[in-house]
Amino acid sequence: QVQLAESGGGLVQAGGSLRLSCSASGRTISTDTVAWFRQAPGKEREFVAAVRRFSTITSAAESVKGRSTISRDSAKNTVYLQMNSLKPEDTAVYYCAAEHDGLGYQPSDFASWGQGTQVTVSS
């Protein structure tokens, strides 16, 4: 069983940047698909970005494409989400999730989740 812990959230002004970290323990996630999701109050959890297992192939939601970069540091068993040009609509709790066997990017495709980190973007 893998444990995931997000960090790096906080309060930032619009136009600013944050780097979120997803650190894993219990087993390696270097061969997992790891994704970031976010959930704003009153809204469903939505996909943000992912790095596919056994590769460096990444995907990002249209809402963050061009403003975000997901990367993996296998030596640190950590996945990062760099977010730039932040907007107030990026305000949400950001979660990382890992899945060894699946290929989908829906929340139901991921078995392991972190507790989330709050990102608040002020206008």
Q: Which residues face 13 on adjacent strands? A: 122
DSSP notation for 60-75: E-TTTTTTEEEEEEGG
Which pLDDT tens digit goes with each residue over 38-74? 999 999 999 999 999 887 888 999 999 999 999 999 9
Residue with tokens 């990444």: 58
Which pLDDT tens digit goes with each residue over 70-119? 999 999 999 999 999 999 999 999 999 999 887 789 999 999 999 999 99
Provide the 10 A C-beta neighbour count for residue 3. Answer: 14
Which pLDDT tens digit goes with each residue over 10-45? 999 999 999 999 999 999 998 899 999 999 999 999
Name the 3-class secondary structure at 88. helix
